Amino acid sequence: MADFAARPGQGGWIAELDGRRAGCVLCVPLDETTAQLRILLVDPAARGHGIGARLVDECVGFAARAGYARMRLWTNDPLVAARRIYLARGFTLVEEQPHRSFGADLVGQVYELDLLGSPVSSRPSQLD
């Protein structure tokens, strides 16, 4: 993770709860002006503590401070709790496409956030 996070324009965070790893998120460049939020994971035992929200806030803030104009992410429609986090931070649904994965019919969703006008992106890092 340290090697990954040391590359310019990308970062990664691992959340802990009671001294145990509880979640993670990555920020990677999609292109020169767009960051991509990837792999938001929260351990089921750690859910309900706001970890997912804090990880997304950190990722969005990092992308804004790194100079990206927008952030994108891809998710699947059954991930309701994650979608609530994204929508609460101003992400908007820009694309949907049905697909079959993990033996199930799903709808892939692409969300996008304008980092230049996002109140989340202007907050200082929670981890500084």
* pLDDT for 128: 43
Q: What is the DSSP letter of 46?
A: G
Nearest to 123 by CA among 75, 33, 59: 59
- Residues 36, 22, 58: CA angle, nearest 5 degrees: 40
Residue 57: helix, strand or coil by DSSP?
helix
**pLDDT mean by block of 10 residues, the chain; 128 residues:** 72 93 96 96 93 96 96 93 95 94 91 86 52
Domains of the chain listed by start with CATH number: 2-114 (3.40.630.30)
Distance of CA 92 to the CA centre of its chain: 13
What does the alpha-carbon distance between residue 46 and residue 121 come to, in Å, rounded to a whole number?
Answer: 25
* pLDDT for 56: 97
